[in-house]
Amino acid sequence: MWDYTDKVNDHFKNPRNVGKIENPDGTGEVGSLACGDALKLMFKLDDQGRIKEAKFQTFGCASAIASSSALTEMIIGKTLDEVEKITNKDIAEYLGGLPKQKVHCSVMGREALEAAIYNYRTGKKWDKELEGEVVCHCFGVTDKEIERVTRENNIQTLEALTNTCKAGGGCGNCLPDLQKIIDRVHGEMAVAGVAVPDKKVLTNLQRIHLIEDVIDREIRPALRQDGGDLELIDVDGNTVKVRFRGACSGCVVSAITLKDVVEARLKDNVSDDIRVEEVK
Amino acid sequence: MRTVYLDNNATTKIADEVRDAMMPFLTDLWGNPSSMHTFGGQVKKYIEAAREQVAALIGAEDPQEITFTSCGSESNNLAIRGGAEAMDKPPHVITSKVEHAAVSGPCHYLEDRGFRLTKIDVDQLGRLDIDALRREVKTSKTLTSIMWANNETGVIFPVGLIGEMVHEAGGIFHTDAVQTVGKIPMKVSDLPIDMLSLSGHKLHAPKGVGAIYIRRGTKVKPLILGGHQERGRRAGTENVPYIVGLGVACNLAGKRLSEENTRVKALRDRLEQGVLATCPGARVNGDPKSRLPNTTNISFDFIEGEAILLMLDDHGICASTGSACASGSLEPSHVLRAMNVAGVSVHGSIRFSLSTYNTDEDVDAVLTELPKVVKRLRELSPFVV
């Protein structure tokens, strides 16, 4: 059973803006029967260039229907310049989050939007192969799409990539190529000065656990050799507050221990921006 | 809201008779059947009675051919891993493309360890490619594991014919009968079957108990080593309450076999025909001529299974789907793919599986709600004009 949010369930069971528009200004069609989900999005603009009407039709599971419904709510009343900035993450967040295996439903929404805008601007039918080269043939995902979702979702692993855009979820032959694309995007992001965490991205809770773990495993045994000890008091953002115990408390070189041992180990193991403060 | 439970191939309600029979072993009779003292030792006879009940349901000649396990998966693992490792030389392992993961898992385990593995195709009706199987089994002493009936479609395979072919070349034949035992009559002693797996929770016993039939003379290397329980085939102090429960469930299933093939089958047929009549673009997956009496697998063109299930769930109706979305993988059911089910409907399959606890009211509930759900989702679908 999926752990869908109330908002996903609501948009699935009471989808908004279902149907078609007569003479739409833009139409975007993505997905297929064979892929297991598909979305047709249509919109009409008012004289100020704002979307006054948006309708959708979706073949797919609950989260695909909910993502489509949410998307129409998100774009009505906005200009195309505004809606162009919507990412799949925005759609997922609007729904209060999606199970990680269902993130691709939000990507389908964003793709349909892109396709509809393309259709409005060029009068042509959008075809993802216009944009790039198909890398995953099972699900027809192009290199451009893979690059985009990797960047926008800060994708670190192949599994996360498959959950996000389906690439690699079929026969698996393309997995080495996908890894190359992920690596390339990370390289470009690093050159552009975007922080790509070389250490795993952690939630706050995971970070606190890791800090505790490093203190227990690496730091305290070293201090105990000299009859000292350390207690973790608090973690506040990047600042780790500790209190020295035993021989360390009142030791004249405790400030050096703090920087050279405690902070250095945490920087090595957790993240480079950790600062350690002593609580007396 | 009333629960309309039509997912009996997933698991079944524990029969009241089974629960009542188990209770003394969860309260007073908690001794160890291997003990020398009367308090413990007295329990052993209940295990042996259960063994006889299981043997009777499947038609085994000797109750000692029944070994109790923790579940159907354990039985399959014991048969395939334990069976292959007990053979004189590593056998060619043969199975089908539509097995449950509890069979394909241990088969792939053997493949990873150097055994040759061949998986036999099925046709569009889900029937096994018997000619291909014949070609493969006659070349050497194989370990062949083919399910008796498919869990998703209910299609029954000709295990008698398969076993004969395997035996002609001196091979060993195991069948996963988890979905079959208690649904159709069987007499395993008259069939060329060396090993057969069954599971308690598919026939109204609780989860956590299964059994394997191992024909006298068939060698199997145990997976769980230790004590002498189950004649050394499966170490570990016996799960007495659950074994007793499985015995009673088998006894009950034997008594209900004819009802399963008459009343339950009639309910299934009424459900299936009703759905086909009220929902356009619906088609049955699986050979209608050779199917379990309780199972129907129906695909709905242009709509997706998880969405159908969740909308049925709102009305208390429990079923399951072979759709990719429901499993978290991106590919639909391996069974429907092996059958080459058409692209328009492979993502929209729903399995209804009945039991003796189902009533006309349950079928009516589906026939009232499902056409509305299908209509609603079709209105949402971009493929329906």
pLDDT single digits (tens) A44-65: 999 999 999 999 999 999 999 9
Domain boundary pick from B252, B268, B293? B252
Domains and CATH numbers, chain A: 1-126 (3.90.1010.10), 128-196 (1.10.10.1100), 204-278 (3.30.300.130)
Do B308 and B247 reside in the same domain of the chain? Answer: no
Q: Does residue B114 sit at the A interface (CB-CB below 8 Å)?
A: no
For residue A159, the chain B residues in CB contact (below 8 A) are none
**CA dihedral sign, ordered A138, A142, A147, A149:** negative
For residue range B349-377, list pLDDT tens digits in order: 999 999 999 999 999 999 999 999 999 99
pTM: predicted TM-score of the whole model, two decimal places: 0.83
Task: Say how many C-beta atoms besides its own lie within 10 A of residue B16's C-beta.
Answer: 10
Domain boundary pick from B252, B272, B300? B252
The parent domain of residue B317 ranges over: 4-10+256-380
Do B230 and B278 reside in the same domain of the chain? Answer: no
- Give the confidence band of A260 by pLDDT, cuts at 50, 70, 90: confident
- Give the confidence band of A115 by pLDDT, cuts at 50, 70, 90: very high
Do B215 and B359 reside in the same domain of the chain? Answer: no
Buried b (16+ CB within 10 A) or exposed e, A221-234: eebeeeebbbebee
The answer to whether residue A197 scores a pLDDT higher than 60 is no
The pLDDT of residue A200: 58
CATH code, B361: 3.90.1150.10
Give which of B300, B330, B385 to mutate to test A binding, by max A Cβ within 10 Å.
Answer: B330
The answer to whether residue B246 scores a pLDDT higher than 90 is yes
Which residues partner with B175 through β-bridges? Answer: B196
Tell me the residues of A at the B interface, defined by beta carbons under 8 Å apart: 12-13, 15, 18, 29, 33-34, 36-40, 57-65, 99, 101-102, 104, 139, 162, 166, 169-170
The answer to whether residue A201 scores a pLDDT higher than 70 is no
Give which of A5, A33, A57 to mutate to test B binding, by max B Cβ within 10 Å.
Answer: A33
- Give the confidence band of A255 by pLDDT, cuts at 50, 70, 90: confident
Q: At how many degrees (to 10) do helices B360-380 and B305-313 cross?
A: 130
CB contact under 8 A, A33 and B302: yes
For residue A161, the chain B residues in CB contact (below 8 A) are none
Do B230 and B277 reside in the same domain of the chain? Answer: no
For residue B302, the chain A residues in CB contact (below 8 A) are 33, 59
| Total of domains in chain B | 2
The partner residue sitting opposite A65, judged by closest CB among B323, B347, B380, is B380
How does the average pLDDT of chain A come out, rounded? 88
A248 in catalytic set: no
Do B278 and B296 reside in the same domain of the chain? Answer: yes
The owner of tokens 């008796």 is B148
A35 in catalytic set: yes
Do B112 and B126 reside in the same domain of the chain? Answer: yes
Report the C-alpha dihedral over residues A169, A173, A174, A178, rounded to 10 degrees: 80
Do B200 and B317 reside in the same domain of the chain? Answer: no
Min CA distance, A63 vs chain B (Å)? 9
The pLDDT of residue A217: 78
